Amino acid sequence: MIHSLWIPAFRMKMDVVPGRYNKAWFKATKIGEFPLLCTEYCGTGHSDMLTTVVVHPPGGYEDWLKKASNMLSPVFRPADLTDAAGLLRALKTGGAPVRVWLLERLAPETREKISAWPGGAVSEELRKVVVDDLNAVLTGDPIYDEARFAGVAVSEEARQLLAADPPPAGDDRIGLNRFLLVDAFPDALSRAPDLTEAGRYIYERKGGCRSCHSVDGGANVGPTFKGIWGKTHAMRQGPPVTVEENYIRESILDPNAKIVSGFDPVMPTYRGRLTDREIDAVIAFLKTLAEEK
Amino acid sequence: MSTVEAAVPGAEPRSYLQEGRGIRSWIFTLDHKRIGVLYLVSVMASFLLGGLFALLVRTELLTPQRTIMDAQTYNQMFTLHGAVMIFLFIIPGIPAVIGNFVLPLMLGAKDVAFPRLNLASWWLYVVGSLFALASILIGAVDTGWTFYTPYSTETSTAVVPMTMGAFILGFSSVFTGLNFIVTIHKLRPAGMGWFRMPLLLWALYATAIIQVLATPVLGITLILLIVERVVGVGIFDPALGGDPVLYQHFFWFYSHPAVYIMILPAMGVVSEVISVFSRKHIFGYSFIAGSSIAIAFLSFLVWGHHMFTSGQSPLANTIFSALTFSVAIPSAVKVFNWLATMFRGNIVLKTPMLWILGFIFLFGIGGLTGLFLGALATVIHVHDTYFVVSHFHYTMFGGPVMALMGALFFWWPKFFGRMYVEFWGKVSAVVVFIGFNVTFFPQFILGLRGMPRRYYNYPPEFESLHVLSTLGGYFLSIGFLIAFFTLVHAIFRGKKAAANPFGAATMEWQTSSPPPLHNFVEAPHVGDPYDLAGLVYDEASDGFRPAAKEGSS
């Protein structure tokens, strides 16, 4: 389908034509939010294809990017709730100060749902709202307070981060919060996300690698990932390369450094979009594809 | 009716309307006048249908969300509105209705060069329309009238019958054009050189050239589209290895010239009417004639201006933009000559003149806003918005439709030998003019403010202008209803018309109203088609007659 990208406030418009790369540019000079619409008729949903462009003040984009890219590794995913029922029971029972405190941090609706929860299996939906609320706590203020964590065995990693000078910020602060919460509910929450799972998530959603790389050997814009680990590939220039950690990291951060022969240099760089830990996750995921072979 | 009348010597001969009765005498007629009437009826039926779709579209747009139909139906409605209005109404409108009727008369000829081809053209029109109607019943198309790929290859609606219909209609159009070219070359009477032809004929000639040269391109394009859809050969669909922008090039290579198929004959009508109702010789005859040919030529060079945002190279964009501006020159030449014709004339504000003045005003706005769409810096913003919608309604509706209405009121007495009620004719012209501006002027503002075209849902801040536009549309329709009733009423109850009720010097007014089967009883006098000085008003018949006769008889 042909679409057309239009940002009226920027006086720019360009058709989005399948099978063809069109260039467009604009220079936003005012901070704010501006409508973005599709102006090439594309079927029943045509008039619902609209969103907004956000122009950040200097530095604002980096902040947003950080927040957006931290969404994955340090924060909880539903799968990290290893014992959801246990966590809810603990929150309901109360007693320890950290339990009372955490229950209060949850959204009122979530609290209602928890008190209405009859015990037993935790529904997918309840699990999701709880995880969302936990993540809101993680990404909020530093959560450590001596009284609050009375009676909790604080782990070694958390202790080091707490002692750090200057105090951890950004990604690290969220990581610290996560350590502390896992320490408070060690049986209910998992300490580190499963790297392979995180890698798959990046492949499918966050990094969007899937739009160019298949995992089943299918042809696409980029080479397939099926059985990629350990393979030796001919390059357009220079000697052939065996796929291992460094090469993958380089392919992600600097895709044009080495071009696989038979492909075009169209892969975008993920520098600044994927953190080191996320690249580790991708690598872990690619390794599993080799084992399948 | 008594048949004695015809036998009385000196009385008027039997008119073409009295030659033969019954449906067969019409649908198998070879008489260009009857074919003109057949076209009149079918084209007007299409106009009503297209207008109905337009009203449904406008009604849906009364509110930002759903009003009376769902998104899919809405998309079908605007597609059908566009397809019916363009392929079934405006393109055949003036050439096939007015041209068929008037062209041979203006040449003092008995008929067009190929009467059978002429009838075949009407039959093809009917078959093409049936295909289009069938597609509406099977699963009305929702691609927009432009049938852009890859949407048109993927949608589940009846694209094939509709494009097949347009393909057949293309042949109908080519046949008419071919006929007119040969007729003008071969059947001009002795004494009528090219530069003594009425300007309508120049316009129809230029139109015919475009019809014959450009329409086949559309035909081939639509066939390729059908082949791709039915057989799956990759031509335009990128999924099959084709190029969707190629379709746009092919499509606009016809469809841009097609807008001149619509506007050129309208300009011809204006040149006739403006001189008669200014009671003055046309100003700048050769410039008006030449500009028709210039427009026809340039019309082939500007198709790329429909694709400024398609990713076409900046160089191509710049060239197409410059060429687009050049079309403004011959168009403006015409407008200035019309104004100069009116200057110091004795302007008679009768119904045809009101419609034609409406044309000049609306087409002026349409043309000037076209400059915004030709200039790269401005078009990028307004492309595919309501600004464009408004622009082409000002040109295509303010132009050809106003001219067709003016032409109908002008030649109606010749068609049917009856006069309409002047008062209601004028009322209809004024109501349509006001309604038109209320409908379409707000759309310029909507487009500039960011309202894209072909939107079912729209942001609420646009609601008030949309409501205004819709109310204008209702008012406009009332104007057309008045016009239709006035014209139909004239056929049955109208006062008998004189041979030359408005005092025009072209040859069709030298024969009786309505003309006899073979058009002229005595060979008409060939002279300057705009020499109005030789005509005097005759109160008894409420018409004009040659001044010379007074002394000679």
Contact A14 B309 (CB under 8 A): yes
Residues 6 or more apart whose CB falls under 8 angstroms from that of A197 comprise A77, A79
Residues B462 and B108: their CA atoms lie apart, in Å, by 55
Contact B456 A46 (CB under 8 A): yes
Contact A44 B72 (CB under 8 A): yes
Tell whether B542 is covered by a domain.
Answer: yes
* Dihedral sign from CA coordinates of A11, B315, B454, A5: negative
- Check residue B5 and give its pLDDT: 42
- Check residue B393 and give its pLDDT: 97
The CATH number of domain A196-287 is 1.10.760.10:
yes
- Check residue A174 and give its pLDDT: 79
Confidence of residue B1 (pLDDT cuts 50, 70, 90): very low
Query: Could you give the residue ranges of the DSSP H alpha helices within A94-241?
Result: 97-105, 108-116, 124-139, 156-163, 170-184, 195-201
> Chain B closest CA to A18's CA: distance in Å?
6
Contact B151 A2 (CB under 8 A): yes
Interface membership of B376 toward A (CB under 8 Å): no
- Check residue B319 and give its pLDDT: 96
Residues 6 or more apart whose CB falls under 8 angstroms from that of B551 comprise none
Question: How many CB atoms are closer than 10 A to CB A150?
Answer: 10
- Phi and psi torsions of B51, nearest 5°: -65, -35
Q: Report the mean per-residue pLDDT for chain B.
A: 92
**Is the Cβ–Cβ distance between B111 and B31 less than 8 Å?**
yes
Chain B partners within 8 Å of A10 (Cβ)? none
Tell whether B551 is covered by a domain.
Answer: no
Mean pLDDT within A94-106? 90
Closest CA to A244 of A261, A231, A262: A231
Q: Nearest CB to B245: which of A1, A17, A23?
A: A17
Q: Nearest CB to B309: which of A13, A35, A42?
A: A13
Residues B151 and B454: their CA atoms lie apart, in Å, by 14
Type and span of the H or E element at B496: strand B495-496
- Check residue B492 and give its pLDDT: 95
DSSP code per residue over B323-390: HHHHHHHHHHHHHHHHHHHHTTS-----HHHHHHHHHHHHHHHHHHHHHHHHSHHHHHHHTTBHHHHH
Interface membership of B144 toward A (CB under 8 Å): yes
DSSP code of B65? S
Question: Exposed, middle or buried by CB within 10 Å (0-12, 13-18, 19+), for B376?
Answer: middle
Chain CA centroid to CA B58, Å: 22
Contact A4 B309 (CB under 8 A): yes
Least confident of A115-129, B100-114, B484-498: A115-129
- Check residue A192 and give its pLDDT: 62
Contact B311 A43 (CB under 8 A): no
Chain A partners within 8 Å of B71 (Cβ)? 44-45, 47
Contact A39 B452 (CB under 8 A): yes
- Check residue A73 and give its pLDDT: 57
Type and span of the H or E element at B104: helix B100-106
- Check residue A193 and give its pLDDT: 57
- Check residue A291 and give its pLDDT: 52
Contact B383 A13 (CB under 8 A): yes
> Chain A closest CA to B541's CA: distance in Å?
57
- Phi and psi torsions of A15, nearest 5°: -70, 145
**Is the Cβ–Cβ distance between B228 and B240 less than 8 Å?**
yes
Q: Report the mean per-residue pLDDT for chain A.
A: 84
**Is the Cβ–Cβ distance between B271 and B203 less than 8 Å?**
yes
With a pLDDT cut of 70, the percent of chain B lying above it is 97
Tell whether B553 is covered by a domain.
Answer: no
pLDDT exceeds cutoff 70 at A281: yes
Residue with tokens 């492309």: B383
- Check residue A81 and give its pLDDT: 84
Residue with tokens 């219909």: B165
pLDDT exceeds cutoff 70 at B4: no
Chain A partners within 8 Å of B457 (Cβ)? 47-48
Among chain B residues, CA nearest to A23: B311
Type and span of the H or E element at B455: none
Rg (CA), chain B: 23
**Residue B150, preceding bond cis, omega within 30 degrees?**
yes
- Check residue B548 and give its pLDDT: 62
Q: Bigger pLDDT: B254 or B476? A: B476
Residues A38 and A13: their CA atoms lie apart, in Å, by 9
Interface membership of A239 toward B (CB under 8 Å): no
**Is the Cβ–Cβ distance between A3 and A36 less than 8 Å?**
no
Closest CA to B333 of B294, B301, B277, B371: B294
Interface membership of A37 toward B (CB under 8 Å): yes
Residues 6 or more apart whose CB falls under 8 angstroms from that of A70 comprise A139, A170, A171, A174, A275
A54-98 residue pLDDT tens: 999 988 877 666 555 444 456 787 778 888 898 999 988 888 899
Among chain B residues, CA nearest to A24: B311
Interface membership of A38 toward B (CB under 8 Å): yes
A216-269 residue pLDDT tens: 888 888 999 988 888 888 998 888 998 988 899 899 988 888 899 888 888 888
Residues 6 or more apart whose CB falls under 8 angstroms from that of A29 comprise none
Total tally of structural domains belonging to chain B: 1
Buried b (16+ CB within 10 A) or exposed e, B219-235: bebbebbbebbeeeeeb
Contact A37 B450 (CB under 8 A): yes
Residues B305 and B83: their CA atoms lie apart, in Å, by 21
Give the number of residues written for chain A: 293
Residues 6 or more apart whose CB falls under 8 angstroms from that of B535 comprise B500, B503, B505, B544, B545, B546, B547
Output the six-digit token pair for B214.
């450009």
pLDDT exceeds cutoff 70 at B6: no
- Check residue B347 and give its pLDDT: 95
**Residue B459, preceding bond cis, omega within 30 degrees?**
no
Among chain A residues, CA nearest to B453: A39
B200-247 residue pLDDT tens: 999 999 999 999 999 999 999 999 999 998 888 889 987 778 889 999
Mean pLDDT within B59-80? 93
Residues B146 and B144: their CA atoms lie apart, in Å, by 5
Residues A47 and A41: their CA atoms lie apart, in Å, by 8
> Chain A closest CA to B384's CA: distance in Å?
6
DSSP code of B452? B
Closest CA to B124 of B82, B182, B178: B178
- Check residue A74 and give its pLDDT: 62
**Is the Cβ–Cβ distance between A134 and A181 less than 8 Å?**
yes
Contact B454 A47 (CB under 8 A): yes
Q: Is B550 left (phi over 0), alpha (psi -120 to 50) or beta?
A: alpha
Residues A5 and A15: their CA atoms lie apart, in Å, by 6
Interface membership of B279 toward A (CB under 8 Å): no
Q: In this complex, how many residue pairs, one in chain A and one in chain B, have their CB atoms less than 8 Å apart? A: 89
Query: Within chain A, which residue ranges are assigned CATH 2.60.40.420?
Result: 3-55
Residues B184 and B288: their CA atoms lie apart, in Å, by 17
Q: Nearest CB to A18: which of B155, B238, B454?
A: B238
ipTM: 0.86
Closest CA to B94 of B272, B290, B347: B272
Chain A partners within 8 Å of B452 (Cβ)? 6, 37-39, 47
**Is the Cβ–Cβ distance between A230 and A244 less than 8 Å?**
yes
> Under CATH, what is the fold of the domain A3-55?
Immunoglobulin-like (2.60.40)
Q: What is the CATH number of the domain that holds B385?
A: 1.20.210.10
Give the number of residues written for chain B: 553
The whole-model pTM stands at 0.73
Contact A41 B454 (CB under 8 A): yes
- Check residue A65 and give its pLDDT: 61
* Strand intervals (E) in chain A: 3-7, 12-16, 32-38, 50-55, 232-233, 241-242
Confidence of residue B534 (pLDDT cuts 50, 70, 90): confident
Contact A35 B239 (CB under 8 A): no
Residue with tokens 């040969």: B182
Chain B partners within 8 Å of A18 (Cβ)? 150, 238-239, 244
Among chain A residues, CA nearest to B311: A22
DSSP code per residue over B191-217: T--GGGS-HHHHHHHHHHHHHHHHHHH
Residue with tokens 């015919």: B208
Residue B454, domain extent? 3-546
Residues A225 and A211: their CA atoms lie apart, in Å, by 12
Residues 6 or more apart whose CB falls under 8 angstroms from that of B175 comprise B117, B118, B120, B121, B124
* Dihedral sign from CA coordinates of B141, B142, B148, B151: negative
Residue type, B453: R
- Phi and psi torsions of B107, nearest 5°: -95, 0
Contact A47 B458 (CB under 8 A): yes
**Is the Cβ–Cβ distance between B507 and B477 less than 8 Å?**
no
B459-473 residue pLDDT tens: 999 999 999 999 999
Question: How many CB atoms are closer than 10 A to CB B207?
Answer: 32
Residues facing residue B506 across a β-bridge: none
SS (H, E, C) A41-57: CCCCCHHHCEEEEEECC
